[in-house]
Structure formats: structure tokens, C-alpha cells
């Protein structure tokens, strides 16, 4: 697998009846061994970004809980608060010491609505205050003897925690854990981790830092929107993110500016902080598909006010720009356009333009594609039908090819 893909391992967690109860979500890469994990915070940041802006919450978890590993530095990061609190369980890694600061931070996260778990754990009296705060304790059956597991279960029963058996590999282990009173179970006896893959565009750290700086300066939403335009991949992730964290809203997305407003500055700041944890700073404006998407989007933005069907729409340019960005992301993410549209809560006009080239936005998309393929006569016919002169279209195209300098 390549480093320009989202790779997330997903292993089921079942209840005592063997029914699916949740998933542990694990970072996967091809660089440094089986899991590619060299930095726990980098790994968790990639998992969280994959959940929220790579795949989307519903695609990864359905209606179930998701467990993610959290190292000490990420435990204290505000960026965790972007996660939907009723859906995620934060697994505090075994090397996090039960200090007073850790205890207080866990209390704050619990009060904020998160569930907490201790990962790969055996009873330790130093953790007794933490046992009164966390919801789950995960016990690794491979890392401990049966006697150690039994002693830990006996001691932990004095605390209000649910016990989860990890690495349950045989029917005999499962039956023994049932007898000991474990509530939840995870391991090869039930299922091996499935690796889910989706192509991604790595976001340049400079763009992420620029957005964080703009947020810190309380910049106008237009400045935020312009910075997103430097990165089609980041724009797509923004739209997926809005769908992941905005449960319950029925409002459909018609432009990048609207998505920014729906997400809000606080949630955006948390998302960008996570992205910096995971950024490899290798790809950006020089990627050919990224460049093509941005030129197409800017071309469509300039044409939109000229189309009679869009001329009276105040956000026509913004809508056209978003359509241009999304129209190439089926290639970038190896998705069909139908899958891409289904994963986003787009307006009907946007969805129809992308899937069927219908409506004024679909007409503009068709013109852009035909000019890219040097089908000048076909583009001319479509422009004539839209009431746009060739001179206006080529002026818009010249402006579009200058899009990089417009972002500086």
C-alpha cells in the first residue's frame, strides 16, 4: 500500500451474545512494519482524520462505537474535541502514567461526554483513582497469564468499569472470559482486523499552518475560503468532515463557504491541529490532478455569473467552484461519482450537475471538460446554448490558469 492512501484497520468488538458492539480503529501503513506505527500520536491523528474526513463516520462505524488509541500528548490536545463524543471511546495507552494531571484531564473529557478506556491493562493500585473515571478496562490475554487475568478481574470488580478481553483467539478463551464476567470481547476468534483503504491527497503543512494562523487572527470567512481553494483535497475533506460531525442537521451543502460556516471555527481549529499531527508535507499545488481540479474550478467560477440560469444567484461562483473541485475527486480517491455524491450532503443542483451534467452547473462542467479535451466545437455548442460567448469563455480560462498567483 502507498502512503497516499488512508489505511485504517478496523477490528470488531462484540458483546456477551457475540453481537457486534463496536470497532477498534487502528492506523495501518506500509513503511515501518505490520502497522507502520512509530509515533502513537501520528498514528491516532491519521485514524481520526480518516474517520472524519477520509471515509466519514457512518461509513466506518455505522451505528456503533469506535475505539481509538490516545498517547499522552494527544490526550491533552483540544483537537480531540472534534470527535463526536457519544460515538468515540478514547483508549489511554498503557504507557501513560496515572499522574494528577492525567486524572484531571480524564475527568474533564468524561464530563465533556467522552467514554474512556485503559488499554492493555492489569490491575495496579496506583490507578485506583483513574478506575473511578474510566468506563472500560481492556485486558490483553496474550500479555498476561490466566492467573494474572483472574486476579485483575477480581480486583477490578470493586470499581464501576466494564471489562473488555483483548486477543481472544480460541473458543476456550472466550468461554473462560464469559465465566470471569467480561462484558466485551475482541480478537481473532471473532475477526481479524480488516484494512479499509481510500486514496488521499497529502496536505502541505504550509496550507494547514496558514489556516490556523487565519483562525487565530479571526480572519474573514472569505480568507478561509480562498485558502481552502489552494487544496482541492482539503476542500473535499472539509465536506466529508461536515457530514461526520454535523449529525442531525438536514441542511444541504451548496458551497465551500457554507461548509466552513456549518463546521464553525472552533471545530475547524481542532481538525487542523489533528491534520498537523498527520501531515507529511509532500503533496500540494504541484500535484497534476490537484492543479487540474483547481484550474477547472476557477474557470467554472468565472463563467457562473455569465450563465442566464445562475446570473441572479448570489453564490453562483462559489457553487460552481465547488462543483469543479468535486468533479475530479472521483479519480483522486478512486471512487465512482455516485459514491462520492452519496458520501456528501450536497444540494440537489450540485448532485445532479456532478452525476448527470444537468442544470446550469452541469452545463458549465461540460464546457470545462470539453475544453480540457480540446473538443472546441462541442464546447462552443454548449456555450451557445448557455448564452455565453467564446470570447467570455476564453477570458475565464485565461484567468483560471493564473489561479496560483491569485492565491499568493
Whether residue 276 contacts residue 204, with contact meaning beta carbons closer than 8 Å, is answered with no
CATH number at residue 121: 3.20.20.450
pLDDT of residue 268: 83
Both 347 and 274 in a single domain? yes
Whether 325 and 341 map to the same domain: the answer is: yes
In angstroms, rounded to a whole number, what is the distance separating the alpha carbons of residues 262 and 242? 7
The SS3 assignment for 219 reads coil
Name the pTM for this structure.
Answer: 0.57
* Closest C-alpha to 50, from 23, 19, 75, 31: 23
> Taking the chain, what is the end-to-end CA distance rounded to the nearest angstrom?
34
The verdict on 180 and 233 lying in the same domain is no
Domain identity same for 148 and 218:
no
* Nine-digit cell string for 196: 479499509
Q: Note whether 234 and 215 are same-domain residues.
A: yes
Tens of pLDDT, residues 209-261: 678 778 878 889 888 988 887 777 778 778 877 876 654 456 778 888 888 88
337-366 confidence digits (pLDDT tens): 887 787 677 788 889 999 999 999 999 999
Please name every residue paired with 90 in a beta bridge, in sequence order, or none if there are none. 68, 116
Tally the domains of the chain. Answer: 2
pLDDT tens digits, one per residue of 60-91: 777 788 898 888 888 888 778 778 788 889 99
Strands (E), 31-71: 65-70
pLDDT of residue 122: 94
Q: Among residues 198, 215, 247, which one ends one of the domains?
A: 198
- If asked whether residues 122 and 260 sit together in one domain, one would say no
Question: Which of 180, 198, 216 finishes a domain?
Answer: 198
Phi-psi region of 313 (alpha: psi -120 to 50; beta: other; left: phi over 0): beta
| pLDDT value for 277 | 54
Question: What residue numbers bound the domain in which 387 lies?
Answer: 205-406
Residues 160 and 216 in one domain: no
Q: Please return the burial class of 114, using the count of CB atoms within 10 Å of its CB with bins 0-12, 13-18 and 19+.
A: buried
Q: What is the pLDDT of residue 86?
A: 82
Pairing label, strands 162-166, 65-70: unpaired
Question: Which residues of the chain have a pLDDT value below 50?
Answer: 1-3, 30-37, 247-248, 280-286, 404-408
Looking at 136, 163, 198, the residue that finishes a domain is: 198
Amino acid at each position: 500500500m502507498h502512503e497516499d492512501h488512508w489505511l485504517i484497520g478496523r477490528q470488531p468488538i462484540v458483546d456477551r451474545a457475540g453481537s457486534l458492539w463496536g470497532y477498534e480503529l487502528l492506523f495501518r501503513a506500509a513503511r515501518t512494519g505490520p502497522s507502520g506505527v512509530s509515533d502513537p500520536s501520528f498514528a491516532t491523528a491519521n485514524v481520526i482524520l480518516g474517520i472524519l474526513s477520509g471515509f466519514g463516520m457512518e461509513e466506518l462505524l455505522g451505528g456503533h462505537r469506535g475505539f481509538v488509541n490516545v498517547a499522552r500528548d494527544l490526550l491533552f490536545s483540544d483537537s480531540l474535541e472534534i470527535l463526536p463524543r457519544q460515538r468515540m471511546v478514547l483508549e489511554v495507552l498503557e504507557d501513560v502514567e496515572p499522574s494528577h494531571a492525567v486524572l484531571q484531564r480524564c475527568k474533564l473529557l468524561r464530563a465533556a461526554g467522552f467514554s474512556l478506556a485503559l488499554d492493555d491493562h492489569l490491575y495496579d493500585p496506583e490507578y485506583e483513582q483513574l478506575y473511578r473515571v474510566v468506563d472500560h478496562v481492556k485486558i490483553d490475554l496474550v500479555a498476561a497469564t490466566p492467573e494474572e487475568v483472574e486476579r485483575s478481574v477480581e480486583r477490578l470488580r470493586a470499581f464501576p468499569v466494564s471489562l473488555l478481553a483483548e486477543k481472544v483467539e480460541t473458543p476456550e478463551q472466550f468461554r473462560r472470559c464469559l465465566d470471569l464476567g467480561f462484558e466485551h470481547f475482541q480478537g481473532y476468534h471473532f475477526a481479524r482486523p480488516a484494512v479499509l483503504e481510500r486514496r488521499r491527497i497529502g496536505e502541505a503543512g504550509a496550507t494547514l499552518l496558514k489556516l490556523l494562523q487565519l483562525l487565530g487572527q479571526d480572519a474573514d470567512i472569505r480568507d478561509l475560503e480562498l485558502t481552502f481553494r489552494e487544496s482541492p483535497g482539503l476542500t473535499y475533506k472539509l465536506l466529508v468532515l461536515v457530514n461526520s460531525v454535523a449529525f442531525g442537521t438536514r441542511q444541504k451543502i451548496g458551497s465551500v463557504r457554507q461548509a466552513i460556516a456549518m463546521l464553525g471555527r472552533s471545530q475547524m481549529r481542532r481538525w487542523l491541529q489533528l491534520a498537523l499531527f498527520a501531515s507529511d508535507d509532500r503533496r500540494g499545488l504541484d500535484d497534476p490532478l490537484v492543479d487540474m481540479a483547481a484550474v477547472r474550478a476557477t474557470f467554472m467560477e468565472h463563467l457562473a455569473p455569465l450563465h442566464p440560469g445562475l446570473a441572479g444567484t448570489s453564490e453562483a461562483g462559489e457553487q460552481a467552484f465547488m462543483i469543479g473541485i468535486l468533479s475530479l475527486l472521483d479519480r483522486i480517491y478512486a471512487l465512482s461519482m455516485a459514491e462520492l455524491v452519496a458520501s456528501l450532503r450536497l444540494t440537489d443542483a450540485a448532485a445532479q450537475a456532478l452525476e448527470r451534467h444537468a442544470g446550469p452547473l452541469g452545463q458549465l462542467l461540460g464546457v470545462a471538460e470539453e475544453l480540457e479535451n480540446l473538443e472546441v466545437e462541442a464546447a462552443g455548442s454548449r456555450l451557445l446554448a448557455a448564452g455565453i460567448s467564446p470570447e467570455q469563455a476564453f477570458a475565464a480560462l485565461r484567468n483560471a490558469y493564473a489561479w496560483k498567483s491569485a492565491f499568493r
